[in-house]
Amino acid sequence: MIELMDTNSTRSKKFFRILPKIELHRHLEGSLRLSTMLEIAQSFDLDLPYSDPPFLRQLVQVLPGEPYTYRNFLSKFKTLRLFYRTPEIIHRITQEAIGDAAEDNVRHLEMRFTPVALGVIRQIPAEEIIDIVVTAAEEARKKHQISTSLIVSMNRHESLHLAEKVVRAAVDRRNDGIAGLDLAGDEANFPAAPFADLLGNARKDGLLLTIHAGEWGGAENVVEALQLFKADRIGHGVRVMEDADAVLLAAESGATFEVCPTSNLQSGVCSNLSTHPMKRMMDAGIKVTLNTDDPGVSAIKLTHEYVNAHNVMQLTVGDLRKATLDAAQNAFLNGSDRRHLVNNIGKEFDQKIKILENEKVI
C-alpha cells in the first residue's frame, strides 16, 4: 500500500505525471511555447533572433545563472508582448496553453489572461480579446476533454482607467465564459488599494476575486487582500508567514492560497525550494494549492511542481491529495460543476494511486 503520509520517499516524474491535477493559477501570457514564438517571429519578420532559438529563449525564459529577481522575471513579459499580434495568434496560444495542461493530466485549468497586454500591439479592445479567448477555450475544452475557467487579469502598475474598461467587459461576460478577476503586476512598487472599489463592485456583480499578494510585497498585502478586497483566493501569499497575526487571519478566513514554488524561486521570493514555506502554511491551517504561474517563462509543467513539492519541499502524497481536493473545492465554478469536479478528482486520484501501486511505479 502506498503510504500517503510518507515523508522520506522520493518519487518519480512518472508517478506525479499520472496523477490527476488541478491548476488555479496560470497566466496565458506566460504559457507560450518557444516553438510557437519562433514561428510567429519568423512569419511576422519581427526584429527578434528567430533563427537563433537559444537567444530567443534567453529573452522569454528565466534560465539558470540569471539573477533570480522579480525585475528579471517581469522583464520577460516585455518581450512576450511582442508576440500577441493578431486575433488568430491569441486564439492559437489559448488553445495550445489548454492543450499543454491537458497533456500533463490537468483535469481543471483556471487560466488568467490580461486583455491590456494581449491587445496592446493592434489596439484590440478588451471586449474583443475576451471573446477570442472565451471562444478558443471552449474549443480547446472539448478537443482536450479538460474543464477550464477563465479569469481576467489586470496589472497594478498599469492605469486604473484601463482596468475600469477591462472590468466592465468582464462583468458583461460573467455568465458567458468569465468566472473571476485577478490583480497582478508589480506588488513591490505599486499599491493595490486604488483598485479596491472597482474590484469590490465587480465581486458584488458576481465575479469571484483573486489577488496577487504577499509575493513581492509583505504579509500586510495579504491582510489587505483579505480584509479590504474580500478576496476569495490569494495569488502566492507565501510571505504571509512573516507575520503570526496574518497567518491566523489567513487560516481563519478560509481563503485559498495559490502557491507557485518555481516562480517564487525564480523571482527571488524564496532562496531555496527546500526552505519554501508551502508545507509550513499547510501545517498552520492555511488552504494551499499547487500551481505553475508562468510555465513558459519557467520552462516547467505542473508535474514538475508536484515532484519538487514531494521530493524537495516535504509535502507527502497525502498533502498533495488534500491540496488537489482544496483546489477543486475552491475552483471558480458554479455549484454543480464544482461538486462534480470534487467527486471526480477524488475518485480518480485514489484509482490512480492503486494503479501506480500495482504497477510498482515509485
Query: Which chain residues interact with Zn ion by CB under 5 A?
Result: 293
Please state the closest distance from residue 235 (CB atom) to ligand HPA, in A: 7
Please state the closest distance from residue 257 (CB atom) to ligand HPA, in A: 13
Nearer to ligand HPA, 267 or 330 (CB): 267
Nearer to Zn ion, 94 or 292 (CB): 292
Partner interacting with residue 292 (select from Zn ion, ligand HPA, none; CB below 5-8 Å by kind):
none
- φ/ψ bin of 86: left (φ > 0), alpha (ψ from -120 to 50), beta (otherwise): beta
Please state the closest distance from residue 17 (CB atom) to ligand HPA, in A: 24
Please state the closest distance from residue 156 (CB atom) to ligand HPA, in A: 9
Nearer to ligand HPA, 15 or 70 (CB): 70
User: Which residue in the shown chain puts its C-beta closest to ligand HPA?
Assistant: 184
* Helix spans in the chain (H): 13-18, 34-43, 53-60, 70-80, 87-103, 115-119, 126-144, 160-172, 196-204, 219-227, 244-253, 261-266, 278-283, 295-298, 302-311, 317-329, 335-358
23 is a catalytic site residue: no
Strand order in the sheet with 256-259: 21-27, 106-113, 147-155, 178-184, 208-213, 233-236, 256-259, 287-290
Q: What is the CA radius of gyration of the chain?
A: 19
Partner interacting with residue 177 (select from Zn ion, ligand HPA, none; CB below 5-8 Å by kind):
none
Short-list 59, 69, 30, CA closest to 265: 69
Nearer to Zn ion, 170 or 356 (CB): 170
- Cα(213)–Cα(268) distance, rounded to whole angstroms? 15
Please state the closest distance from residue 13 (CB atom) to ligand HPA, in A: 24
- Cα(25)–Cα(173) distance, rounded to whole angstroms? 20
> One of 29, 96, 215, 258 is an active-site residue; which one?
215
Partner interacting with residue 21 (select from Zn ion, ligand HPA, none; CB below 5-8 Å by kind):
none
Partner interacting with residue 87 (select from Zn ion, ligand HPA, none; CB below 5-8 Å by kind):
none
Record the cell numbers describing residue 330, joined without a space. 475552491
SS (H, E, C) 54-72: HHHHHHHCCCCCCCCCHHH
* Contacting residues toward ligand HPA, per CB under 6 A: 27, 30, 184-185, 212, 215, 263, 293-294
Nearer to Zn ion, 100 or 293 (CB): 293
The catalytic residue positions are 215
